[in-house]
Amino acid sequence: MIPLSYFFGLSIILFVLGIVAFFIKRDLITMFMAVEIMLNAANLAFITLAKAANSLHGQVIVLFVITVAAAEAAVGLAIILLVFRQKKSIKAEDMRLMNG
């Protein structure tokens, strides 16, 4: 019998940690992973609320989120690979073609 607000708090902590990770890291892959953390934090929040509202809609949404995250991960990693082939580096600072 855990109060659901604890889960919420955990979700918040995970989300903020994800943000911090995004800004601290310099390589693209880890930044991408931080994005995944954020997504998962959101999923946790959804499930918590589904339980609180006693409806399954929240869980269905989580299903979709997971699916779309998977597709996004596939395409994103493909792009990272391509960038690596061009620039031989996965440092975020090196990707500044749009400067100015």
Partner 1 sequence: MTEYFWLIPLIPGASTFILAVFGRWLPKKYVSWQACLSVFASFLMAVASFLGLLKVSPENLPIVKSLFSWIVSGVFSTNLSFQLDPLSMIMALVVTGVGFLIHVYSVGYMARDKGYTRYFTYLNLFTFAMLILVMASNIVLMFVGWEGVGLCSYLLIGFWFEKNSAANAGKKAFIINRIGDAAFILGVFFLLVNIGSGEFKAINAAIGGGSVTQGLATLMALLLFVGAIGKSAQIPLYVWLPDAMEGPTPVSALIHAATMVTAGVYMVSRFNLLFTLSGVAAQVVAVVGALTAIYAATMALTQNDIKRVLAYSTISQIGYMFIGCGVGAYAAGMFHLYTHAFFKSLLFLAAGSVMHALSGELDMRKMGGLRKYLPLTYPTFLIGAIAIAGVPFLSGFFSKDAILTHAFVQRQYFVWALGIMGAVLTAFYMFRLIFLTFFGEERLDSHAKQHLHESPRVMTVPLVLLAFFSIVAGYVGLPVVFGEKANLFTRFLEPVIKPGHKAQLTVSMEWLLILISVAVALCGIYIAYIFYLKSPRTPHVLVSRFPKIYKLLYNKYYVDEIYNAIFVNSAIKGSEVVYDNFDLKVIDGTINGTAAATGFTGQLLSFLQSGLVKDYALVLLLGVVIFLGYLLL
Partner 2 sequence: MGAFLFFLLAFICVGSVLGMILSKNQAYNALFLVLAFASLGGLFGLLDAPFIAAVQIIIYAGAIMVLFIFVIMMINLRQGLTPEKKRWTLFLSAGLAVILLVEFILAIRGTFSALGHTGGEKMGTPTELGRLLFTDYLYPFEITSVLIIAALVGAIVLVKKKEKE
Question: Contact residues for partner 1 (CB under 8 A)?
Answer: 19, 22-23, 31, 92-93, 95-100
Whether 4 contacts 52, CB under 8 Å? yes
The rounded distance, in Å, linking the Cα atoms of 30 and 48 is 27
**Beta carbon nearer to partner 1, 31 or 50:** 31
Q: Which of 46, 91, 85, 87 is nearest to 69 (CA)?
A: 46
Q: Least distance to partner 2 from the beta carbon of 95, Å?
A: 14
Whether 83 contacts 94, CB under 8 Å? no
List the single partner that 87 binds among partner 2, partner 1, none, CB under 5 to 8 Å by kind. none
The rounded distance, in Å, linking the Cα atoms of 63 and 61 is 5
Residues engaged in binding partner 2 (CB under 8 A): 1-10, 12-21, 23-27, 29-30, 32-33, 36-37, 40, 43-44, 47-48, 50-52, 54, 56-57, 59-60, 62-64, 66-75, 77-82, 84, 90-91
